[in-house]
Amino acid sequence: MPFFRPTWVEISQEAFASNVRSLKKFIGPSCQILAVLKADAYGHHAASLASLAIKNGASLLGVSSIEEAISLRESGYKDSLLILGGIYPFENFSAVFEYDLIPTVASRESVLFLKKMAEEKKRRYPFHLKIDTGMGRIGMTVESAKKFIDEFGKDEAVQLAGIYSHFASAGEDVEFTLHQLELFKDLEKYVMKSEIKNVFFHMANSAGTILFPQSHLNLVRPGVALYGIQNIPLPRSVELKPVLSWKSKAIFLKRVPAGTPISYGRSFVTKNESEIMTVPVGYADGIPRSTLNKAMVLVKGERRPILGRVTMDHIMVDVTGLNVSIGEEVVMIGRQGNGFISALDWAQWAGTISYEIVCGISKRVPRMVVA
């Protein structure tokens, strides 16, 4: 659909492809990548990146829900797709079959449902088993998993294709991360001793992949690193580029005298004569209101402050002395001249994480693929 309002997101397929290749090279030939494209690829438009991930070295993709998976299927993505979230109500397994998705299973109850359906459809159906090693979210304990594997590991109707767990603090807590890994490896050893073959073992998110090579096992599950907005230092051998830029244009300019209040609540009042630009992007697009008095945007390559409160559809920016014209490009996230503002900057201003910033860029902002 064409767009009229000059506010948009640019997605660099080149940067994304290069990030996948860089991680693939880093993990080496004995490990594979499950590219995490949940939440519309963290706001980056999953449909534009799914096949690219596979072409550049990922072996399968992960999304959060059946809805997200269907939308990727409808965009033409045909390869393997793991649903990371739990399937409930269990009747939803019929959509899993229909769209050829790999479900996550975390209980006996759920696998029995899958098994019944697989028997009806006369098709051995794969699933991944989720283990909780310290995240406290969906997943069974290692001890229950051993019993589960004894019961279903060689089932004729359902195929244990993967076993996985999730780090709670791979970027922050070495000791706890190693503790989680040890629990998981105990289970891996248990399965290796059985005759169950061809199982993916996976645990590492982006931080695990980058900081804990011993957690790679035979599959890693990076998300945020693929988008180049991870908040951990990188080893020299890994280069990750930001994939998303967020831009707009000045739609109105005015010069105002000192003492002029700007935006709701008049929380900001100009101290001097000022040039003020109105930009058509607001909290309904994902600019957090909580960045009050902190956030900046790029104009002519310079960081310039947002004045007063973020409104639903607009922000006002101080452009005094910049000699801007109407239609001047404004960058919320990305590069302009020598200036650069990242999702991590916004996260700091808003007191949150980069994930929430990019996932929060709302659907009404069109995504444009650039090379």
Ligand X SMILES: *Cc1c(COP(=O)(O)O)cnc(C)c1O
| Positions that interact with ligand X (CB under 6 A) | 36, 38, 84, 166, 205-206, 221-225
Distances (CA, A) of 272 to 50, 174, 318, 321: 50, 51, 11, 12
In the complex with ligand X, the residue whose CB is nearer, 36 or 341, is: 36
In the complex with ligand X, the residue whose CB is nearer, 33 or 310, is: 33
Find the shortest distance in angstroms from Cβ 38 to ligand X. Answer: 6
Closest listed residue to residue 294, CA positions, set 351, 229, 360: 351
Find the shortest distance in angstroms from Cβ 205 to ligand X. Answer: 3
In the complex with ligand X, the residue whose CB is nearer, 208 or 308, is: 208
In the complex with ligand X, the residue whose CB is nearer, 61 or 149, is: 61
Read off the tokens for 164.
């996985």
Find the shortest distance in angstroms from Cβ 261 to ligand X. Answer: 41
Find the shortest distance in angstroms from Cβ 118 to ligand X. Answer: 24
Are the CB atoms for 354 and 341 separated by under 8 Å? no
Closest listed residue to residue 296, CA positions, set 352, 340, 244: 340
CB atoms within 10 A of CB 91: 10
Find the shortest distance in angstroms from Cβ 266 to ligand X. Answer: 40
Q: Which residues pair with 336 in a beta bridge?
A: 339
In the complex with ligand X, the residue whose CB is nearer, 206 or 336, is: 206
Are the CB atoms for 196 and 149 separated by under 8 Å? yes
Three-state DSSP class for residue 304: strand
Closest listed residue to residue 302, CA positions, set 279, 275, 258, 335: 335
- By annotation, the residues acting in catalysis are 38, 264
How far, in Å, CA of 158 to CA of 112, rounded?
9
| Measured torsion, CA atoms of residues 138, 187, 168, 86, in degrees rounded to the nearest 10 | -20
